[in-house]
Amino acid sequence: EIVLTQSPTTMAASPGEKVTLTCLASSSVNYMYWYQQKSSASPKLLIYYTSSLASGVPDRFSGSGSGTSYSLTISSMEAEDAAIYYCLQLTSTPPTFGAGTKLELK
Amino acid sequence: QVTLKESGPGILQPSHTLSLTCSFSGFSLSTYGMGVSWIRQPSGKGLEWLASIWWNGNTYNNPSLKSRLTVSKDTSNNQAFLKVTSVDTADTATYYCAHTRYNSGYGYYFDYWGQGVMVTVSS
């Protein structure tokens, strides 16, 4: 199965700061998907097909990448963005998630 | 508007069979491209895909759970089901069902998730 490695594991950002989260795949994938999970809530889809913004997601979020290297960028950190972010690959069965990046507000 | 809600026993004993129900609205599991997937998350840990069922009846299970998983659907009542046999403490987790969308040429993804149901395996 494809292993997704997310970095950093944990980070803190100040309001207004640009944030970039990385997801590396053990084999090439066609697309990457990104989810946000707050506290005990269910994961929320942010980005699909690597760079498409899900409905209702603020445009400060963006995704990019190809092959084995993908990233999620928040152009300007806001307090409500503090959460755990997971990447997901669906190219190969079974689908696999990264271990997550915990983003905190500084 | 797509909504999903999971229901289950809450607590069950080791070696027993876990039965979960996903009740949904806003889509039909008989419509081309629609599916329901099950994903679980142990407390404080990451996400693990378990299984998916599609509009055409095709099902896919995570090989890591071998033959312990059975996924099914009741299209008329807008429900999907997951059974996990021979549970042990490692199956303690929050179980989510998620609306799964397939687009020809692009593949599929999980867009809407239920609130999750916590399941504890304990004697």
Question: What does the pLDDT look like over A51-90, one tens digit per residue?
Answer: 999 999 999 999 999 999 999 999 999 999 999 999 999 9
Nearest chain B alpha carbon to A92: B107
pLDDT of A4 over the 80 cut: yes
Cα–Cα distances in Å, from B114 out to A26, A27, A105, B63, B85? 29, 30, 27, 24, 22
Contacts of B111 in chain A (CB under 8 A): 45, 48, 54
Q: What angle do CA A19, A94, B24 make, to 5 degrees?
A: 80
CB contact under 8 A, A88 and B48: no
pLDDT at A17: 97
- Separation between Cα atoms, residue A35 and residue A47, nearest integer Å: 7
pLDDT of B66 over the 80 cut: no
Averaged pLDDT for residues A16-36:
98
pLDDT at B63: 94
Contacts of B113 in chain A (CB under 8 A): 42-44
Which residues of chain A are at the B interface, by a Cβ-Cβ cutoff of 8 Å?
A: 30-31, 33, 41-45, 48-49, 54, 86, 88, 90-91, 93-100
Query: Taking the CB of residue A53, how many other CB atoms lie within 10 A of it?
Result: 15
pLDDT at B106: 85
Contact B72, B79 (CB under 8 A): no
Greater pLDDT, B15 or B66: B15
pLDDT at B9: 95
Count of CB pairs separated by less than 8 Å, A with B: 47
The string of DSSP codes covering A13-82 is: E-TT--EEEEEEESS--S--EEEEE-TTSPPEEEEETTTEEPTT--TTEEEEEETTEEEEEESS--GGG-
pLDDT at A40: 79
**Token pair of A25 as six digits:** 């795949």
Averaged pLDDT for residues B67-95:
97
Averaged pLDDT for residues B73-89:
97
Q: Give B46-49's long-range contacts (Cβ < 8 A, gap of 24+).
A: B46/A86, B46/A97, B46/A98, B46/A99, B46/A100, B47/A43, B47/A86, B47/A88, B47/A97, B48/A97, B48/B93, B49/A94, B49/A95, B49/A96, B49/A97
pLDDT at A83: 98
**Per-chain mean pLDDT for chain A:** 97
pLDDT at A13: 97
